Structure 1
Amino acid sequence: MTTLTKQRMETITVMAIAKVQTERARQIDEEGYSREHDDEHRNEELAAAAAFFLVPDFMNQDVCTCTTEYGLVVQSLHELIGENAWLGIQRDDTSDLGIRDDVRLDTRIHQVTKGLALGIAELERLLRMRETVGTY
């Protein structure tokens, strides 16, 4: 692995922040997920959606949850988090061994970028709540 200079590492940090800012702007401008829309997600669905994209594939283990009727449901961690975010949320699968490494890495970068932008949307929502309520 190539050692990066301090200047290059700082440049990469700026690039990472810019990617997240661009994705957040895309969510608002292209998807229509305005701040007012985000404020409707009072049950922290944005945080769940962020986690959905940020949890790595190797952690996508099956989990068992209890239903209100004392039944058990087995589902993947991604399914559990995703259904608590919103219906129809999807992410690209990077676990397929047939995927080229560069494509896998680019896909993962996109997932992390999306997750961080959703995390920022949740943070903004909480900060707006604090401003209007006074405390959280």
Structure 2
Amino acid sequence: MSMFNNECADRAAQTALQLVTLERARQVTVKGYDFHHDDEHDRGQLAIAAAAYLLPLWLNPDVAFVENNGLSVLPVIDFIEQHTFGPFERHDGDYSETNVQVDLRVETLITGVALGLAEIERLLRLKSAMEANS
């Protein structure tokens, strides 16, 4: 049985959406990751970065990829920095669920969801442009 009631769950969902919206606005206004910037990343970089933030580090700490006709293995954070638009800031904890660890994980997840939102926005702009040109 959950320790939360429906009202608490509803409030958490609303807060989560607000936090993601605020993070996306911060990415645009503070970091300069506006639609011009995002549209330059048309090879899945935004989705890759989002996925890296969303996955717990213990799940997949390394990534294998083909480079110069050979297989290379890098820590996922280094791979993201080299293949997207690093530097990559990530907060993972030991999942002991202390307040600090939960806060850091929530912050990381919010960043990942906001990056996913940026990719959705980019794809919707692309679709709109394609429809306008057909």
Residues 1-136 of structure 1: matches in 2 within 5 Å? Answer: 3-70=3-70, 72-95=71-94, 101-134=98-131
What is the count of residue pairs matched by the alignment? 132
Q: Secondary structure at the match of 1:56?
A: coil
Gaps of 5+ in 2: none
TM-score of the superposed pair, with normalisation by structure 1 = 0.83
The CA deviation at 1:132 is 0.2
Structure 1 unaligned regions, length at least 5: none
8 Å contact from structure 1 (residues 48, 82) kept in 2: no
1:33 offset after TM fit, Å?
A: 1.1
Counterparts of 1:121 and 1:87, CA distance in 2: 16
* Shift of residue 86, structure 1, vs aligned partner: 2.2
Kindly indicate whether the alpha-carbon contact (under 8 Å) linking 1:52 and 1:82 is maintained by their aligned counterparts in 2: no
Shift of 1:39: 1.1
Task: Look up the equivalent residue of 1:105 and give its one-letter code.
Answer: V
CA RMSD in angstroms, aligned pairs only: 2.3
After superposition, give the CA deviation of every residue in 1:79-108 in whole Å (9 maximum; x if it has no partner).
33443222422313424x8x8822111111
The one-character-per-residue Cα deviations of 1:7-39 (angstroms, maximum 9, x if unpaired) are 111111000000000000111111111112211
TM-score by length of 2: 0.84
Separation of aligned partners in 2, 1:62 and 1:48:
14
